[in-house]
A and B are shown apart, each in its own frame.
Chain A
Amino acid sequence: MTAGRLDRLGTYVVLGAFSVLAIYPVLSILFLALHKKTDLVTGFALPTHLDLSSFKAAWTEGHFATGFKSSFIVAATVTAVSAVLSVGTGYAFGTMRFVGDRVVFPIILLGIIFPYEATVIPLYYDFQNVPLLHWNLLNTYWALILPQIGQSVAFGTFWMRAFFKSVPRSLIEAARIDGATSFGVLWRVLLPQAMPAVMTMSVLVFVYTWNEFLLALVLVSGSQSHQTAPLGLSFFAGAARAGDPTKVAAAAVLVALPILFVYLFLQRHFVRGMLGGAIKE
């Protein structure tokens, strides 16, 4: 056992060095954002004074008020609806046996690994003119909400099934003997215990939906009032990078900010979701 102080020091040095690497690009763009356009920013220059003018300019010129509104509407709806749906599917696959369950579950699991990039082409054409109904859903929130619910249900089913399977069988049986219906078992017995799992799932789905880019680019880029915050950032950066990098940096920080807040307060869920979801099955 030579794990002395030197070893421990080495551990901290390694962890510290890599933590700095992990955070540096984020800090560098924050520093850039705190400068004024007229400051000649190079390299690692620390801002000499706290100047928020770039943030103000980016917020209005990049139309981020609408971007945030759209992102919030889409992310909140996707999170809420897919949570309800996944509790249902997870409950069924985790506690019941029914005709076809062994065929359907793997098909849903496919949705976790498969690249949604491969779905955007038909989504674009089918939303332009929805078969049978002849609606045009392009450049509406629906175009972003519906596909992302579909994707989130795949992950959610996998996640909630793992939870419901871990619940002691006797608990469910006892409730059934007392005459509870299947919905009663879910609502009164299981759901209260499932809340942490539901919360973790919701945090992950919210973050992924907020960050999503390709669907927004393809499906709502024709309507400024529906573009999400990341899409707005992409457009804004394309137009303004050459002229004023500090403004683009400020816009990037703005778009990341809500997720950073979610992470700071709910990071337990995030880490558990990423690690647990990965290892569980």
Chain B
Amino acid sequence: MVSRRRRGKRGRGHAPGDPRNIGWLYVLPGLLFYLLFTLGPLLHTVYYSLFSWDGLTAKTWVGLANYSEAVHDSVLRAAFLHSAILIVFYAVLPVSVGLLLTAALTRTAIRGFRFFRTTLFLPQLIAGVVIAQAWSWVYDAQGPLNRFLQLVGLGSLVRPWLGDFTWALPSIGVIGTWVTFGLCMVLFVAGVQKIPIELYDAARVDGAGAVREFFAVTLPGLRNEVLVAFVLTTINALRNFDIIYNTTAGGPGNTTIVPSMYMYQNAFLFNRVGYAAAIATLLALAIFILAAIMLRIGDRPEDR
């Protein structure tokens, strides 16, 4: 997604003068599914958001009233604030930790890296519902975390983490960090192997220390990887539903409510379908805007 713009203009390697409208024949079936069941429903959501509707009786056109309500809804504001906090845990933390570790790892070939890669990647492919069960146990009053705290003499910290008004959200955040840090590490370690060794030699000849070497060589060399990791993990943080629904369901109180959870509650529990559609629209908008900003920042033309 990074270099698209530069490639765009010069055509895409076609034989000159070779327009083949038969291409539509290959595109049409897939496009149809996409339009009918993905893009269409998204637009339909935007349409619903302009109505007041309980899902059963007739809809009433209310224009932008749902959005003006959204602006003043303190729960929705909390939901987006929680998302912002979760971005720190889901994106900023794993990317930073991943970079730090990558910098710490020597650039010599790591024997057995495949084994480490297999384990580090594991959290990525486990269903959110399963992750929620595993961590509910880790955080349980009788669970491993509290037992560990007792063992090391921090018994005063023991608590049911997911049921605690202050600690529930950070606890959810840690689950997100756990899910994504492996992806970041593998992405970065693989990326570092592709940076030409000459750049490191040159930096050392110039007398660069470990820190300067990191900022002058490693970080610029990993630009694409860091960008991709940020986009992926930020989107995941904002979309977060499975883990919240299956651990805290937004509670205790509304301390872990997030937009997708609040949308679900409004649509299917409170029968406020129009308002739920407005929340969904705002969520989609937030994701598009953040992704666009990140890709724009990452797509500076001066390098490479």
Contacts and interface: CB of A to CB of B under 8 A. Distances in A.
Interface of A: 3, 7-8, 10-12, 14-16, 18-19, 21-26, 28-29, 32, 41-44, 82, 85-86, 88-89, 91-93, 96-101, 104, 107-108, 110-111, 113-126, 146-147, 149-151, 153-154, 156-157, 165, 169, 173, 182, 207, 210-211, 213-214, 217-218, 230-231, 233-234, 237, 241, 245, 248-249, 251-253, 255-256, 259, 263, 267, 270-271, 274-275, 278-279, 281
Interface stretch (B63-71, B74-82, B122-130): B122-130
A119 B232 contact: no
A43 B142 contact: yes
Contact of A18 (B3, B39, B182): B182
Contacts of B268: 124, 218
A136 B118 CA distance: 43
B214 interface: no
Contacts of A213: 127-129, 241-242, 245-246
B31 A99 contact: no
B112 to A, nearest CB: 8
Contacts of B45: 118-119, 121-122
8 contacts: A22-B122, A44-B148, A82-B30, A97-B19, A108-B34, A117-B263, A119-B37, A154-B38
A97 B18 contact: yes
B84 interface: no
A157 B28 CA distance: 12
A57 to B, nearest CB: 16
A252 B123 CA distance: 14
Contacts of A3: 106-108
Nearest to B37: A150
A152 B18 CA distance: 30
Contacts of A22: 119-120, 122-123, 178, 181-182
Contacts of B13: 165, 169
Contacts of B253: none
B287 A149 contact: no
A149 B33 CA distance: 7
Contact of A19 (B119, B135, B287): B119
Contacts of B224: 279
B37 A115 contact: no
Contacts of A157: 30
Nearest to B135: A25
Given A88-B26, A88-B29, A97-B20, A23 B38 contact: no
Dominant SS at the A interface? helix
A197 to B, nearest CB: 16
Nearest to B273: A121
A234 B263 contact: no
A269 to B, nearest CB: 11
B239 A115 contact: yes
Contacts of B137: 25, 28-29, 32, 245, 249
B196 interface: no
Interface in B165-215: 178, 181-183, 185-187, 190-191
A43 B148 contact: yes
Given A85-B30, A150-B33, A213-B129, 14 more contacts: A18-B101, A29-B134, A85-B33, A92-B24, A92-B26, A98-B22, A104-B27, A119-B38, A119-B45, A147-B38, A149-B37, A237-B133, A263-B125, A274-B183
Contacts of A279: 191, 224-225, 228
A26 B31 CA distance: 39
Contacts of B277: 121-122
